[in-house]
Amino acid sequence: MKKFILAATALVVMNSCCTQQENTAPVEVNKQEIVVENILNRRSVRNYTDVQVTQAQLETLMQCAINAPSAMNRQPWQVRVVQEANILDKIRAVNEKTIYNAPTVIFIAKDTENRYSDFDCGLLTQNILLAAESMDLGTVVVGSVTMVLNTPEGKEIVDSLDLPENYEVIVGICLGNKNERPDARPRDAEKVKYIK
């Protein structure tokens, strides 16, 4: 009887250990599926909730942003993350629809002395868009914000961004928690040709 009890106890302990290992084992993740799904699901969002993006989310987004590739690793960008209501209100006063109701706007400025800076800033921008989608945050790229910043009223806004002298804002990214989930617009696959 003692042998039976010992054997039964050993089985219970072994089963317990195996169960614990199964519960703590890392889950296999298909990175390709995640990346592709993220790219295909990303949409321009123009309607946001009142919930502000967290500092932790912003820090992750900025880490992804600055890890974009750039020609000769010159990193010819400056990034300003603006949540200051006063600055955002000034932009809306010049053009109400420029930044929609986004609680956060990210301004990307390029080095005007670097001939690759437009392209490099585009890579940085795409990193932000895809990282935001992975967090289920909404984004929309707003090029029209440069028209607002180039007005006499916009000079005060640009000055508040504290950019180096040879940098100019080329694009803004509205960022916030999604209050809409737009459908995908058609894409023209005929623009892609395979030459083998």
Question: What single string gives the DSSP state of each residue in 71-113?
Answer: GGG---EEEEEE--HHHHHHHHHH-TTSSTT-SEEEEEEEETT
Tokens coding 6: 């010992």
- Token pair for residue 156? 């005060």
Cβ burial of 15 (10 Å; 0-12, 13-18, 19+) is exposed
pLDDT of 29: 83
Q: What is the pLDDT of residue 54?
A: 98
Q: Is 107 exposed, middle or buried (0-12, 13-18, 19+ CB in 10 A)?
A: buried
The pTM assigned to this predicted structure is 0.84
Q: What is the pLDDT of residue 151?
A: 84
Which residue stretches of the chain have pLDDT < 50? 1-21
Q: What pLDDT does residue 23 have?
A: 59
